[in-house]
Amino acid sequence: MSQHLSGQIALVTGASRGIGREAAVALGAAGAHVILLARTVGGLEEADDEIRRAGGSATLIPADLSDFAAIDRLAPAIGARFERLDILVLNAGVLGELAPIPDIAPKIWRQVFDVNVEANWRVLRALDPLLRASEAARVIVMTSRVGGEIAKPFWGAYAASKAALEMLARTYAEETKASGVRVAIVDPGAMRTRMRAAAMPGEKPETLPHPSEIAPVILKAASQDYQGIAERMRRA
């Protein structure tokens, strides 16, 4: 694989499995040093092993994004070591439960918005100075069709949270377009992930694309050639 991201510093949330892990491995193979952030230590270590086998390097940060105080401590720790951040992939998210809107428990609604919206806002807010310290930072926000293109019954909490996240990304893109920061919104579509299996238990996983198939799109959004302003991107 091309080393076109050599020397760059990337951070991927939700990097222990699924799309996050595949994004991290692809970025590492392309030459970036990847900061892996997720709750599961074992999953982080497995992702680290994959990145090293691909010739890359990584730093592991076990963290729960529902711990907002931990997010606030993130930037000083990263800044002290790296002084900048070139690529940020906001991938971590939760499904919550699929239910009619009147039946969604307030606790579940809050959990979905805490992770999918507030945690992403806090990560972006905390890391903004490091992104602006980069000559050409790229922010990649993972989304879903239900967040802005289609309305599906029973997906209310997840869909509303993704719609809010997309608008957050679009607003940040407008605020930073005069700088070197560029924002991309990546919709991977249906993929062979745990979240998809939880949402669609009757579906055959082998009929779905592997999460690695979205990696080329993420690499394109992470490149210096990408100049979009919150462009929505997906697999061809």
By annotation, the residues acting in catalysis are 158
Tell the burial category of 150 from Cβ atoms under 10 Å away from its Cβ (0-12, 13-18, 19+). Answer: exposed
- The alpha carbon torsion through 8, 50, 13, 227 (nearest 10 deg) reads 40
For residue 14, which of 207, 233, 195, 203 has the smallest C-alpha distance?
195
- Whether residue 17 contacts residue 25, with contact meaning beta carbons closer than 8 Å, is answered with no
For 208-218, letters b (16+ CB in 10 Å) and e give beebebbbebb
Would you say the C-alpha torsion 192, 186, 141, 138 has a positive or negative sign? positive
- Whether residue 180 contacts residue 134, with contact meaning beta carbons closer than 8 Å, is answered with yes
Q: Coil, strand or helix: which one is 37? A: strand
- Whether residue 93 contacts residue 144, with contact meaning beta carbons closer than 8 Å, is answered with no
